[in-house]
Structures are given as C-alpha cells and as structure tokens.
Amino acid sequence: MKSTLNELMVEYPFYIGSFCLLLGIGLLIYKIGKRESFRMKDYNVITWKVLVDTWAFVLMLIMLGLALIFRE
C-alpha cells in the first residue's frame, strides 16, 4: 500500500495534490461550520486531543496538497 501511494504521488503529483487540497479545504469548512469552542474547560482530555489532532490533520492535508501541486 505504501509503495503504491508513493508511486501515485510521483507519477501524478498535481492530481493527488489537488485531491488533498480539496479534502483539506472541505474539512476546514466543515470544522469552521461546526463552531466548536476552543475553551479547554468544555472538553475532557481525550476530546481536546481529538479536536487539536483534527485541526492538525486539516492543516497537514492543505500543506501536502500545496507542496505536491507546486512540486513540478
């Protein structure tokens, strides 16, 4: 699976980058639309980690998409 994904990223960087960018922007719009609070007292430890990790995942998807698009 890992080698297949690497081959796709090398052969089709624009398409994979566009997909990652669109997925990241879609998740960003979804997360902004939910209007979750960022006060830690509203969450327990696990849900706070999930909140922070999903925001990090969204940002990584957007950065990966941009990096693959501008790679050529």
The amino acid at 1: M
Give the pLDDT of residue 37.
74
pTM for this one? 0.81
CA 43, CA 6: separation in Å to the nearest integer?
37
Cα R_g (the chain), whole angstroms = 15
Confidence check: pLDDT of 63 > 90? yes
Mean pLDDT of the chain: 88
Q: Report yes or no: 16 and 68 within 8 Å, Cβ to Cβ.
A: yes
The whole domain housing 42 covers: 2-69
Q: Count of domains in the chain?
A: 1
What confidence tens digit (pLDDT) does each residue in 14-45 have? Answer: 999 999 999 999 999 998 898 877 777 778 88
Give the pLDDT of residue 35.
83
Within the chain, how many helices (H) and strands (E) appear? Answer: 3, 0
